[in-house]
Structure 1
């Protein structure tokens, strides 16, 4: 098999591969920067908790309208927004920390979502909702994914400056008279929007992978926030492209193939990137010999 046949031919011949590639591009642009902020704010696991929180809303949409993407998208966003508000309220007015609230709501949401889906559909329906299929993205799904991703980017631009301040100096934000909780809730709403956008392509369980794995891997390549975001986007898109190709050529499930590709890029970055293990050990060894 030539390089052209491996890399170009699938996208040149098949419209579903081009739609899948466009969906991966939209998700990379939206999820890459958000994943960096989750990492900076030490909220990496909250993204996973929020992805589980979408399940009841998606399941209710499925129960009402079957495999209607608009219904499941609206249901997922309402459920995610509801969990964000509940966790924020609990953190503000009770002794529970926000992460503890998310952990509790994650378990409840996941169990409730699986229970709702199981009452109407079989394992195939449940697997589709949990793990998605980017190769099955049609024109309607692509438009919805791109629209939600675009809205989340606009919201992130709106909250970018206060979010940066709140991430590094929350005391300054409070002294300036602005509420950190408000920006936190808006940011978590942005995370929920990105997870809803990734739901059709990756499924509720896998969507957080394309958000977090490239962001974590980017930490080994860059230091400044803008370069972290750019690197995360590039790694997410690379994971999408190579995951799609592996899925196409070797008949693998598309969502897990993309996430495993992102995982391999993360492991490679951890070992060989400028801030990775090997380079860091070589630099330390060189300084030790000079000393």
Structure 2
């Protein structure tokens, strides 16, 4: 039975073309087809002549055809199809992704303004999609189109994980991504000192107290990941417990990662503050995984 396809949204922008390339490589790893979708909202009939609307439709079709042809040149064995939709881009991608295993979009599209880190379409689909969404930033000087230099010769996947509220859908996605890439998985848990340790009366925190609290967090993270280590025995896991704000801890750790995996965290149709911050500041692709249930 053919696996669920990877879906890539494109609009001709640098980010969307980087996203399409990332999606193609992911489809090859998964041995599934790639669907390339371009969408633009329909123009009002009473304002725009039918001829102009037809021209815009053909422009979109040529864009999709060009992206598919370009990807085929680099991935000749990849099964691909393209699609043009006259629909709001976010709604079109959410609709098209109902049977996809993964939706991949650029961090920002051809609209918006200079300096915008993440566009409205990327934020909307990351917050509302029924399955995982990967948001790909534009390539920056010194980065590599086919990945980043691995650390110590081994690629890395970084996962944000809270052992106090474990989200195993996030863990399964991250472990699977690490397994398919032959990558080390770094599970990052940020923590903070207990409230009593940072009260106004506290002049300093004893080293042994801090070490004891940190050891508790390490054990809690190890316990929470035990079932996934058993499920994915081929994946090497490094657990990092970091005394930092969660977004800062993840961004620091993921600077040389192939992929950063986070949970949606904000409930239905919402991104949590950590995920939102990570999307706006990450220089690497970010997978946003909805929590199960």
Give the alignment's TM-score, normalised by structure 2: 0.23
More helix by share: 1
If you compute each CA radius of gyration, which structure gives the higher value, 1 or 2?
2
More strand by share: 2
Report 1 or 2 for greater relative contact order, CA contacts < 8 Å, sequence distance ≥ 6: 1
